[in-house]
């Protein structure tokens, strides 16, 4: 027995548990609301649920696809403007490690799941975490940029009139694995 | 701290679940969730100008324990509460009639995005209702908490300040209320009560004060206003080769045009402003602008009924002074709530004006018989319907456009189809966002009711998820790159919202799109749009 088929076999249960733990990070009554399958009325719940489903499938693949960063973006972009510390915002991605350990405790204890495979799985989650850290930082940066732009926007017309505006093309920090989503 | 968080600790990650009754959870003032208090000098001026509506002026900070409330703060609020219950039958009904069915609970964008239970409209209103019961009803006085009642304490005032300035008065929740409780009016009452003890925010009162003083939110004086208009006219001439007329403060014209002052300084509103100038020039409208009534917005709506009335009155005073027949109002949001829902019984009916009749098409706008003021998209769509404009929509072919219904024109006025009709006449690519996020059910930009300030950015982004989510959807599915809107606050709040939730989508006023497509008499071949960027095919 190896980990991969087990993960695939228990996909629904793992995802349910993972999502349930995420929902618990929201204040009391929201738990009911966040599980509503209403794409436009419940954007937090549906977007996070949709993303972790696909993230889980990514974890089952030997190589991550190009969707990995955008999927992480969908989760982190939401968490980054909610009332969480940075660590709390991204910690929900780590939950999957613990859900897997909880679910397959017996198999891990007895050595039926090789340590190497578990280690590889952990590594994938850690990689997700690092990408999420980049995205989180970018999101927060966007919020601060927005504040700055907001302040300037009040007077942009006036600044153009008096020619006190200098426009540079937007600095492109590159995309690669850090993912703009 | 321990080095390793044990798995079982992570799995019990439930500390967020409040263990207490909501009444026992004190308000927490975190950065980005509250707006800065009003500056004393602003309040001094306003208090004088209103003969005492803004008492107890001081410097204070919401994060301080001591808010330096007046000694008799409790009596002031109780007296004010009682007065308002007696004055507004609707307020009393709203306090009594809610059965806490919860239909509104998950309709607020701030609750949807942040999950704070006190942002559920039902609970936000309960912050006020619990005091109503505790102080004004027999059952509440005797049964206390059993009847959902509580006593007025300082924390209650703090809670009101936090949460009633986390309501954008968008009224999306009211749409779903089986009793039709107008949550915006509950927020308005709470804000009025807060004024009595000197708790208010600068982002609302400074514009209100400016508007009272110079006629517009930005505090622009006539010469500066006119200077900016001339600059725009020069830009228009550069782009089109046509020198448009720019009548200001002229008596004896048929129409007075009033629009938000945000559009004269702030991009992208400036381009919408240029759009108006071009359209009116092209059809030869007999009209004037005014530097005195140079504000369509009315931050009095977010302040108090008296302030709202005062600021609304100046538009009509100016219409009377200039001797016009009626008013056309520009692309503004909350101005239309004031106009459509309050003006008639507040300063109206405007019997010295006439029912608007389009001089170009002859259409009589009966719906505006009482206020004598029509919305620019009503006017323009009528021109288009009668084929009075020469349009080249291909000039907007680089845009895939969607439309954000602004809360007030949509829900407080029912202006749903006219802007769409206008857009579809000037743009070949138009896509609707999902049904649950448009028209009456539109999501707020999360910066309405005077909360469009940068220190509130955290909450604005949080509350912006409803709109952002729908926008992102059409961006990914249909390639939408343009978000059109008919509100000046939207033109200020949606660019950051789009930048966060759907990067790459640009915000446009509807009349900017009109002006791009408008073929003007005597114009030179156009190469650039109003933003001086190449038109499609001219790159």
- In this predicted structure, the answer to whether residue B221 has a pLDDT above a threshold of 60 is yes
Give per-residue pLDDT as tens, B480-505: 999 999 999 999 999 999 999 999 99
The confidence score (pLDDT) of residue A181 equals 39
B457: closest chain A residue by CA = A147
B466: chain A residues, CB-CB within 8 Å: 40, 43
The ipTM of this complex is 0.92
A27: chain B residues, CB-CB within 8 Å: 16-18, 115-117
- In this predicted structure, the answer to whether residue B518 has a pLDDT above a threshold of 90 is yes
Using alpha carbons only, give the angle B472, B334, A159 rounded to the nearest 5 degrees.
70
What angle, 0 to 180 degrees and rounded to 10, lies between the N-to-C axes of helices B154-164 and B73-87? 50
B218: chain A residues, CB-CB within 8 Å: 154
Query: Does A26 contact B16 at a Cβ distance shorter than 8 Å?
Result: yes
- Give start and end residues of each alpha helix (H) in B103-201: 109-114, 121-136, 138-143, 154-164, 172-176, 183-196
The confidence score (pLDDT) of residue A154 equals 78
Give per-residue pLDDT as tens, B419-448: 999 999 999 999 999 999 999 999 999 999
Query: What averages of pLDDT result for each successive group of 10 residues across chain A (181 residues)?
Result: 90 96 81 90 96 97 94 98 92 93 92 93 96 97 94 80 71 47 39
CA distances from A66 to A57, A121, B518 (A): 13, 19, 43
Q: Which among B255, B250, B328, B274 has a CA at the least distance from the CA of B296?
A: B328
Of the residues B10, B227, B504, the best mutation for testing chain A's interface (the one with the most A CB atoms within 10 Å of its CB) is: B10
Count of structural domains within chain A: 1
Give per-residue pLDDT as tens, B401-417: 999 999 999 999 999 99
- List all residues 6 or more positions away from A56 whose beta carbon is below 8 Å from its beta carbon: A7, A11, A14, A15, A18, A96
Q: Give A43 to chain B, closest Cα distance, Å.
A: 7
Q: What is the rounded average pLDDT of the residues B56-71?
A: 97
Range of A148's domain? 3-178
- The structure tokens listed for B208 are 């209100």
Q: Which residues make beta-bridge pairs with B255?
A: B287, B326
Q: Does A101 touch chain B (CB under 8 A)?
A: yes
Q: What is the rounded average pLDDT of the residues B237-262?
A: 97
Query: Does A154 contact B461 at a Cβ distance shorter than 8 Å?
Result: no
Query: Does B7 contact A98 at a Cβ distance shorter than 8 Å?
Result: yes
A138: closest chain B residue by CA = B500
The confidence score (pLDDT) of residue A157 equals 78
- The structure tokens listed for B165 are 């300035």
Lowest mean pLDDT among B165-169, B341-345, B456-460, B478-482: B341-345
What's the rounded Cα separation, in Å, for the pair B296 and B339? 10
Query: Does A101 contact B499 at a Cβ distance shorter than 8 Å?
Result: no
Query: Does B113 contact A82 at a Cβ distance shorter than 8 Å?
Result: yes
- In this predicted structure, the answer to whether residue B225 has a pLDDT above a threshold of 50 is yes
Q: Assess contact for B214 and B45: CB atoms under 8 A.
A: no
A116: CATH = 1.10.490
Q: Assess contact for B445 and B490: CB atoms under 8 A.
A: yes
Of the candidates B16, B227, B496, which has its C-beta nearest A149's C-beta? B496
- In this predicted structure, the answer to whether residue B11 has a pLDDT above a threshold of 80 is no
- In this predicted structure, the answer to whether residue B14 has a pLDDT above a threshold of 90 is no
The confidence score (pLDDT) of residue B329 equals 97
């Amino acid at each position: 027995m190896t980990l991969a088929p087990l993960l695939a076999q228990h996909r629904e249960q793992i995802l349910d548990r993972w999502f349930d733990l995420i929902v618990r990070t929201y204040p009391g009554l929201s738990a009911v609301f966040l599980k509503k399958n209403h794409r436009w009325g419940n954007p937090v719940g549906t977007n996070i649920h949709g993303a972790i489903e696909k993230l889980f499938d990514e974890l089952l693949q030997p190589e991550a696809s190009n969707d990995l960063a955008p999927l992480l973006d969908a989760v982190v972009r939401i968490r980054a403007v909610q009332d969480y510390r940075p660590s709390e915002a991204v910690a929900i991605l780590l939950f999957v490690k613990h859900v897997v350990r909880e679910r397959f405790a017996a198999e891990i204890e007895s050595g039926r799941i090789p340590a190497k495979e578990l280690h590889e799985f952990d590594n994938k989650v850690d990689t997700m975490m690092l990408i999420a850290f980049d995205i989180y930082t970018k999101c927060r940066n966007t919020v601060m940029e927005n504040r700055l732009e907001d302040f300037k926007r009040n007077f942009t017309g006036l600044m153009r009139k008096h020619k006190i505006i200098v426009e540079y093309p937007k600095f492109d920090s590159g995309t690669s694995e850090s993912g703009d989503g | 701290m321990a080095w390793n968080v044990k798995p079982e600790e992570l799995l019990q990650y439930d500390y967020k679940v409040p263990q207490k009754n909501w009444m026992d959870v004190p308000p927490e003032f975190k950065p980005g969730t509250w707006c800065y208090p009003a500056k004393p000098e602003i309040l001094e001026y306003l208090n004088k100008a209103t003969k005492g509506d803004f008492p107890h002026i001081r410097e204070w900070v919401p994060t301080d324990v001591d808010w330096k409330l007046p000694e008799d703060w409790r009596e002031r609020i109780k007296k004010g509460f009682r007065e308002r219950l007696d004055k507004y039958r609707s307020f009393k009904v709203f306090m009594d009639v809610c059965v806490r069915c919860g239909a509104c609970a998950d309709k607020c964008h701030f609750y949807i995005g942040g999950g704070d239970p006190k942002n559920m409209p039902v609970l936000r209103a309960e912050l006020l209702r619990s005091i109503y019961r505790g102080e004004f009803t027999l059952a509440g006085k005797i049964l206390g908490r059993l009847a959902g009642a509580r006593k007025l304490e300082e924390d209650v005032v703090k809670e009101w300040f936090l949460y009633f300035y986390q309501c954008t008065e968008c009224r999306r929740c009211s749409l779903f209320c089986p009793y039709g409780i107008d949550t915006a009016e509950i927020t308005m009452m709470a804000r009025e009560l807060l004024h009595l003890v000197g708790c208010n925010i600068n982002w609302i009162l400074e514009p209100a004060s400016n508007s009272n003083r110079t006629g517009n939110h930005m505090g622009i004086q006539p010469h500066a206003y006119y200077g900016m208009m001339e600059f725009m006219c020069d830009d228009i001439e550069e782009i089109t080769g046509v020198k448009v007329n720019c009548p200001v403060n002229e008596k004896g014209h048929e129409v007075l045009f009033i629009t938000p002052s945000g559009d004269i300084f702030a991009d992208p509103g400036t381009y919408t402003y240029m759009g108006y100038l071009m359209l009116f020039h092209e059809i030869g409208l007999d009209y004037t602008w005014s530097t005195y009534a140079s504000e369509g917005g009315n931050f009095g709506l977010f302040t108090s009924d008296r302030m709202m009335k005062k600021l609304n009155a100046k538009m009509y005073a100016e219409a009377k002074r200039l001797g016009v027949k009626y008013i056309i109002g520009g692309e503004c949001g909350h101005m239309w709530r004031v106009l459509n829902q309050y003006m008639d019984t507040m300063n109206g009916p405007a019997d010295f004006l006439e029912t608007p009749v389009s001089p170009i098409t002859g259409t009589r706008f009966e719906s505006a018989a009482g206020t004598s003021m029509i919305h620019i998209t009503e006017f323009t769509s009528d021109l288009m319907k009668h084929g009075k404009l020469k349009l080249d929509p291909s000039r907007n072919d680089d845009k895939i456009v969607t439309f954000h219904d602004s809360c007030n024109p949509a829900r407080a006025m029912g202006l749903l189809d006219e802007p769409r009709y206008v857009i579809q006449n000037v743009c070949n690519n138009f896509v609707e966002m999902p049904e649950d996020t448009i028209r009456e059910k539109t999501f707020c930009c999360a910066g309405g009711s005077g909360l469009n300030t940068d220190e509130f950015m955290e909450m604005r982004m949080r509350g912006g998820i409803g709109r952002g989510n729908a926008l992102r959807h059409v961006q990914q599915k249909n390639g939408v790159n343009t978000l059109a809107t008919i509100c000046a606050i939207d033109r200020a709040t949606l660019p950051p919202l789009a930048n966060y939730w759907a990067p790459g989508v640009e915000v446009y006023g509807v009349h900017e799109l009109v002006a791009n497509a408008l073929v003007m008499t005597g114009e030179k071949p156009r190469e650039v749009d109003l933003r001086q960027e190449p038109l499609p095919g001219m790159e």
